[in-house]
Structure 1
């Protein structure tokens, strides 16, 4: 029996919600609201880059740090926070993270300089790291308590919340800017944080911390976390500015990664269980698929949005409204397919739609009519609703129970590695502004990623088993 299962109430214990065998639905609101904090903050900023650049006299290559800072903090912090969830429980980590989100929102709303705005985005990235690993940990715990192999309802709700909030973020951001300026995009985190704190304190169970098999003598693998952070930070900083003069970052990343491998193979309770990852090929493929998915998704979110404003000449609010149909399609697709099995089918359909949408971007220009722009975002709504849901469900079945928080955090690491790659490509193709020529180059990169994703989905034989069996155990 896994260590998580050992901490759960006995099967004959009376659940808090008085439903003897059902999933505790009181968990859903705090878990869903907390999990959307990261994607909504990731996407709202898209329509603020131009007005923030104008306010501080900064070019697009500089304001993109507002995007990259959150992704860097999240990519590095998610697995570490996930490990804290695995070891100390979901509730305290969730509450600490959502409190930090409120502090970051206040700092961003009052920041007098672009530098402090970037600091606020870093804090937002770290604060929003907590909710998703906490959610996956609690979902797995509830599944063990109730005997459900796949609690499809809550998994679908998490995916719908993330995908819909990511897609609707530009629209929400545009509306907030219209009401109170770009600072409201930061200030909105204050009430969201308070809501999470209140619901989390009232509804999340205070499950006792995990007791390691060695009695806790090994402690938390802080050295492993530090080496992972150093390797990821150096690699992602190079990815943000891949220049010959930045070669030393690759050297730092390689040295830190080698030291990480040497340490994690030696300690009893490693931060990253490399032996488990090496033996779990399907999980590694899921990470790679998710990185490809997010490279395309965030290229649409940031590259296409900037082109709508600069290359097509739309205002911030109008650009957000053009992207609104994508969120509506994503919500509908994810809701309609969330409870259905067939992870491979979802990925094949989603990656095909992604390839079609990328090809359509090659046809856009400064005078493209609005109906054609909306047609493109409708196509992108299909993979927005399918791909991340499928990858999340695959991970749920492939990750061991006592590492579900860390594994979920790593999924977000690959997600934001894809986002960072997208940011690097956008910065490279939009050096003098978001032109149509630059958009077409970006579309070719996106098309290549979509075709690789399609191949990885078709050829992965393990997807035929995922979703039809019980989750992996420790």
Structure 2
């Protein structure tokens, strides 16, 4: 890989790691925030939901904006937004304001993730699977190391530190990105004369509003019903309203000239559809454990934030080790065998969750997290390689946005699953129930990976 490509990847990596880092550091801060703001788990979980709903919306929108206004400009603007949000969040006078700055942070970091992947896809042409493995080190490594970093920061300072730690990364990424990201050829002729109404249609603002309103209403209804212990008429109305709005969203997207989520694309490219379905399931499985385990360890096993973060470190280190191995493996054999091995590892890890109880040793916990870490590291690189093989080059920005939206949708489902199973009180029995659900998801991943078409067929379709 050329030196210029390496510095370009470092500049992109330092920016895109902010999204998974901030989505994962919060895992060890939930119990602390519950205490500080005197909130139940279902209420404080909105700091997770808000981040991922905003990310799910921002990813495809920013993919379009990058095609129109230039990917370099959007990437640099995202760094500025993330920098400002990280400065303001520690000053939040209430939990509501913290949610606002968390959403702002999500939008800023989302401006970088899909755009960063597209920049690498366009400007790094040699050994792309290896390049993807480097990006995966930043993405999965930051996500997996987040609880460890967050545990140290909260132990020595307080929850405000998990926002302030973003500042040096944002500054370093901005300086390097400004120097290394090639300037885009002006796509901007259309952008300069675009009216507000045209831009409104281009980003599909009605589709965005329907998606957000339907998802939020559905989550409010389900979480409120779980918190109160029964489904009242108001809860039923909220759930029904959310479902109706989401159905209206699907109908709108099928008719829209420039849809927020191009659902017709899935019918045209079935391999791309399966990549996104698999990615939803993977993230639902991984983040159910990722958010659930730290809270379980702190609330049930009474382990401190620092030691919880240290235990989660085995997950991060094994994910980091697995990523470059997967990159080299994919360069030789394609993504199929890597994804199959990943699914098997995640199945074994899920079986451990089912057998765990309050007396389980911490050494066994570290070994199980190591299995999850290797499975996650293989999967992250394998899924990105499968995405690029199944997506035509001319729509890689849209495909990357859809891919990341699938990730956030899976994470939202993971948070919802945790809230439904655990409610406001974590327990060993609840965590074992969660393990059964995760095992079923992992077995589905094994079947999907086993039936996946050979990488050559995927590549042929991606080039068509």
Instruction: State the TM-score, normalizing by the size of structure 1.
Output: 0.88
Instruction: Work out whether 1:376 is the aligned partner of 2:360.
Output: no
Q: Quote the residue 2:378 is aligned against.
A: 386
Q: How big is the shift at 1:196?
A: 2.0
Instruction: Work out whether 1:140 is the aligned partner of 2:121.
Output: yes
Does the 8 Å CA contact 1:234/1:250 hold for their aligned counterparts?
no
Q: Quote the residue 1:461 is aligned against.
A: 453
Q: How big is the shift at 1:239?
A: 4.3
2:277 to 288, 298, 310: 288
Does the 8 Å CA contact 2:208/2:260 hold for their aligned counterparts?
no
Q: 1:273 to 1:211 in 2, by over 3 A?
A: farther
Instruction: Work out whether 1:210 is the aligned partner of 2:190.
Output: no
2:147 to 160, 170, 173: 170
Per the alignment, in what secondary structure is the counterpart of residue 128 of structure 1?
A: helix
Cα deviations by residue, 1:180-202 (Å, 9 ceiling, x for unpaired): 11110011122222222222212
Q: 1:215 to 1:166 in 2, by over 3 A?
A: closer
Q: Quote the residue 2:248 is aligned against.
A: 255
Per the alignment, in what secondary structure is the counterpart of residue 60 of structure 2?
A: helix
Q: Quote the residue 1:5 is aligned against.
A: none
Does the 8 Å CA contact 2:214/2:241 hold for their aligned counterparts?
no
Q: Quote the residue 1:231 is aligned against.
A: 210
More helix by share: 2
Counterparts of 2:461 and 2:432 in 1: how far apart (Å)? 44
Counterparts of 1:416 and 1:336 in 2: how far apart (Å)? 26
Counterparts of 2:452 and 2:200 in 1: how far apart (Å)? 33
Counterparts of 1:270 and 1:182 in 2: how far apart (Å)? 38
Instruction: Work out whether 1:190 is the aligned partner of 2:167.
Output: yes
Q: How big is the shift at 1:104?
A: 1.1
Cα deviations by residue, 1:334-390 (Å, 9 ceiling, x for unpaired): 111212223111111111111111111112122222112112111111211011211
Q: Quote the residue 1:325 is aligned against.
A: 314
Alignment of 1:342-357 (within 5 A): 342-357=334-349
Q: Quote the residue 1:85 is aligned against.
A: 66
Does the 8 Å CA contact 1:102/1:191 hold for their aligned counterparts?
no
216-225 or 170-179: bigger deviation: 216-225
Q: Quote the residue 1:10 is aligned against.
A: none
Counterparts of 1:388 and 1:250 in 2: how far apart (Å)? 31
Q: How big is the shift at 1:132?
A: 1.8
Q: 1:138 to 1:241 in 2, by over 3 A?
A: same
Q: 1:215 to 1:53 in 2, by over 3 A?
A: closer
Q: Quote the residue 1:472 is aligned against.
A: 463
Does the 8 Å CA contact 1:231/1:254 hold for their aligned counterparts?
no
2:45 to 42, 58, 64: 64
Instruction: Work out whether 1:181 is the aligned partner of 2:172.
Output: no
Per the alignment, in what secondary structure is the counterpart of residue 176 of structure 1?
A: helix
Q: How big is the shift at 1:415?
A: 0.5
Q: 1:199 to 1:241 in 2, by over 3 A?
A: farther
Per the alignment, in what secondary structure is the counterpart of residue 461 of structure 1?
A: coil
> How many residues are matched?
445
Does the 8 Å CA contact 2:348/2:371 hold for their aligned counterparts?
yes
Unaligned runs of 5+ in 1: 1-16
Q: How big is the shift at 1:270?
A: 5.5
Does the 8 Å CA contact 2:322/2:374 hold for their aligned counterparts?
yes
CA RMSD of aligned residues (A): 2.4
Q: 1:236 to 1:410 in 2, by over 3 A?
A: same
Q: Quote the residue 1:34 is aligned against.
A: 15
Counterparts of 1:52 and 1:213 in 2: how far apart (Å)? 46
Cα deviations by residue, 1:278-318 (Å, 9 ceiling, x for unpaired): 21000010000000000011011101111111121111111
